[in-house]
Amino acid sequence: MPMKPVIILVRPQMGENIGAAARAMLNFGLTEMRLVAPRDGWPNPKAVAMASGAAGKVLDHARVYPTLAEAMEGIDYAFATTARGRELTKPVFTPATAMEKARSHDGRCAILFGPERAGLENEDVARANAIVTVPVNPDFPSLNLAQAVLLMGYEYGRDTLPPEPSPHHKRAESEVLADRIEIEKLGDHYEERLEGAGFFFPEEKAANMKLNLRNMWARLALTRSDVRMLHGILRQLTRR
């Protein structure tokens, strides 16, 4: 398995954003964070408060460096996330393409994120192998730091994610589909009351009308709660 990317936050300004970035990382199994000259020093209690719970472990093991050059220790391929820096001659990828390359890379990758106010400077981008730019609204291309980390983490982990989210809670009765006996009894109830109301008319069409009604009940993905409500509606309508 390839080594997971290192997340490098270059001159981050707010502790809250560092903590939120740690949470975003852990959502997708990324655990190595490096900080370059955080503005408010390190450790930062606001970052810890924002990380909340398990993501605090990411912060506990975060390493701090005075310069980006030093933070690139052990990295052999780096992606710079920026909407700028196009004047530098580098390949430019979308997050999906960049993280596909990261998954297949044999060495150690890093993803660089710039400070909140203005992002990475050209001097930072120059130290990366490639640029990652998110295809967003050109009139407002700026992403929040944690949002950018979350997006890259998602794209890196998407091949290992389940195709559909699995529920972690016991389904309420309102979510449980009715079984065929419950649907059959509902059909009987409606057929009986509609028969009494003279709905199946003329007589030569009655059998086909009843068949279509049964077919309709079978097509609907009714829950047990739906069935109870439909019984109640019919009882109320025919009470007199």
Supply the range of the domain harboring residue 199. 173-237
Whether 123 and 182 map to the same domain: the answer is no
Q: What is the pTM for the complete model shown?
A: 0.70
Q: Is residue 98 part of a domain?
A: yes
Q: Is residue 1 part of a domain?
A: no
Whether 43 and 98 map to the same domain: the answer is yes
**Residue at a domain's end among 160, 182, 204:** 160
- pLDDT at residue number 139: 84
Whether 48 and 152 map to the same domain: the answer is yes
For residues 50 and 19, the answer to whether their CB atoms sit within 8 Å is yes
Q: How many domains does the chain have?
A: 2
- pLDDT at residue number 66: 97
Q: How far is CA 215 from each of CA 207, 209, 219, 226, 232, rounded to the nearest angstrom?
A: 12, 10, 6, 17, 21
> Which two tokens mark 197?
């109301």
Closest listed residue to residue 222, CA positions, set 172, 175, 171, 178: 178
pLDDT tens digits, one per residue of 42-56: 999 999 999 878 888
142 pLDDT tier (thresholds 50, 70, 90): confident
- Residue 232 CA, chain-centre distance (Å), reads 39
pLDDT tens digits, one per residue of 97-139: 999 999 999 899 999 999 988 899 999 999 999 999 988 888 8
Q: Is residue 166 part of a domain?
A: no
